[in-house]
């Protein structure tokens, strides 16, 4: 993925994380609270089987939809 597209995805992840701040369910593994930036990136990696940076440029629209879905349905 080229730098411009990585920046677009990174910005979308940051926006989603800001909206998820304080909204993620509590977890005994995270007694001081969950990190929404890490949450979004880890869910994406788990679903994709790779980092978003390893995806091709044509997958940007589907990655943006995935980020929106993660933001709207936190777990």
First to last CA, the chain: 28
Q: Label residues 22-47 b or e (16+ Cβ within 10 Å = b).
A: eebeeeeeeeeebebbebbbebbeee
pLDDT tens digits for 36-56?
999 999 999 999 999 999 999
Measured CA to CA, the distance from residue 40 to residue 68 in angstroms comes to 10
Given the structure tokens 């369910």, which residue do they identify?
Answer: 25
Residues in the chain: 75
pLDDT tens digits for 6-43?
999 999 999 999 999 988 888 888 888 889 999 999 99
């Amino acid at each position: 993925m080229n730098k411009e597209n990585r920046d677009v995805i990174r910005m979308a992840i940051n926006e989603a994380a800001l909206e998820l701040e304080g909204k993620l369910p509590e977890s005994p593994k995270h007694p001081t609270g969950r990190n929404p930036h890490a949450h979004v990136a880890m869910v994406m990696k788990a679903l994709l089987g790779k980092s978003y940076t390893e995806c091709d440029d044509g997958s940007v629209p589907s990655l943006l939809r995935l980020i929106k879905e993660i933001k709207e349905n936190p777990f």
